[in-house]
Structure formats: structure tokens, C-alpha cells
Amino acid sequence: MPATLAIRLAKDNARALVLAKRNAMAAGLRDRHSREIVGRIVAMEEFQRARLVMAYCSFGSELATASFMTRVHQSGKTLVLPRINRQTNCLDLYAVGNLEEDLVEGMWGIREPEPRTCSPVSAQALDFVLVPGLAFDFGGGRLGYGRGYYDKLLKSCLDSGARPCIVAGAFDLQLSERVPKEAHDVLVHAVLTESQHIVC
């Protein structure tokens, strides 16, 4: 079996395993841990210094990000959210000023910025990026959902010379000693869980 195919199969198996564990977490416990994790993230010095903060609208059993987005606004920072561009298969970024009025339902039912009311933002301007994912390891490895949206976005930042702080918020059950990685996968700088702050 070619090495690339073996890695992709390993990724698919890891995704299925972690997703099943995350989906099995009780909703109340997930909400409580989400609040704890958000508290850890906003206490980071890198977050305190940041002006343009990228987040994402959570769905399913993901870390609940609503309180994080509210804290970004309350801190006087600019909140940036992604929108999937179906023509380029990449993420377009927009500054979102009103979480009630500026978001619409997008692909897979995930809320996205409304381009008619939100201003576009360059990825190179980001100071802090909160990324989603299914599994993370202690070296900064991130296992996403397989579409490659965030790897492409973050690679464009790094290639331009920009150095945003890339952070993952996750539950303890999403941690792994090592996640399968390919050459194009971008590492995160820190992973924060309900019990750990891992500097990668």
C-alpha cells in the first residue's frame, strides 16, 4: 500500500474513533468543559495582545465557541469568521460585528458571515486563530475533517511571512500521543483542554 494512502486510511480511522467518543459525551458535560476551555484560551497572553482574532462557529459535538466569540467582542477585538468559497474550495474571511444579524446558515448548517454585511479580511492580518479539529497531539499535530480548508488558509499565512498564534480548543478525549500527519498539515502552537495547556 502506498504511504500516502496508508496515512489517509489511518486518518479516517482516527477521525471515526474520536468523533464517536466526542459524540458520546453528555451535553451538559460538553457545555461545562467548553466554558472551562474558553476561559483558558482568553487568559492566554497571546489572546490578550491580539487585535484580529479568527474563530469558527461550532456545530455538532464540537467545543462550543459562542462564548469565545462573545468574549472577543467584549475585549474590543475584531472577530473574524470563515466562509467556505465553493468556487475556490478555500475559506474567505470576514469581520463580524453582530453575531445575531451578520451570520447565515452555510454548508452543513454551519453559520457563516453574510458577505453583504461583513467586511473581507486578509488572512495575513490575523493575530490569533482558533482552529477546529477532531484530534490533536502533544507536538501540535492536528487532525481535521479531511477537507483541507484550514491547512490551506494557515499555509497561505505562513508563506506570506505572517505568524498568527494558532490555538486549538479541545476536550481531553481528543488528545492523542500522535495523530497521522502529511507534509501539507500545519501544526498548531498550543492545545487547551479542560485540564491541560499544552504548548507545542
pLDDT at 106 over 90: no
Alpha-carbon Rg of the chain, whole angstroms?
16
**Mean pLDDT calculated for residue range 39-53:** 98
Identify any residues that bridge with 175 across adjacent strands, giving them in sequence order: 136
Give pLDDT, residue 51.
98
Produce one character per residue of 149-159: b if its CB has 16 or more CB atoms within 10 Å, e if not: bbbbbbeebee
CATH number at residue 166: 3.40.50.10420
pLDDT tens digits, 123-133: 999 999 999 99
Q: Among candidates 92, 98, 100, which has minimal Cα distance to 121? A: 92
**130, 55 contact by CB (below 8 A):** yes
pLDDT tens digits, 13-30: 999 999 999 999 999 999
pLDDT at 3 over 70: no
Mean predicted lDDT score pLDDT of the chain: 94
**Mean pLDDT calculated for residue range 169-196:** 94
**Mean pLDDT calculated for residue range 75-97:** 96
How far is the C-alpha of 55 from the C-alpha of 58, rounded, in Å? 9
pLDDT at 140 over 90: yes
Give the model's confidence band at 7: pLDDT under 50 very low, under 70 low, under 90 confident, else very high. confident
Q: Which domain holds residue 56?
A: 3-199
Q: Can you tell me which residue has the cell 480511522?
A: 13
Give pLDDT, residue 1.
53
Give the model's confidence band at 95: pLDDT under 50 very low, under 70 low, under 90 confident, else very high. very high
Number of domains the chain contains:
1
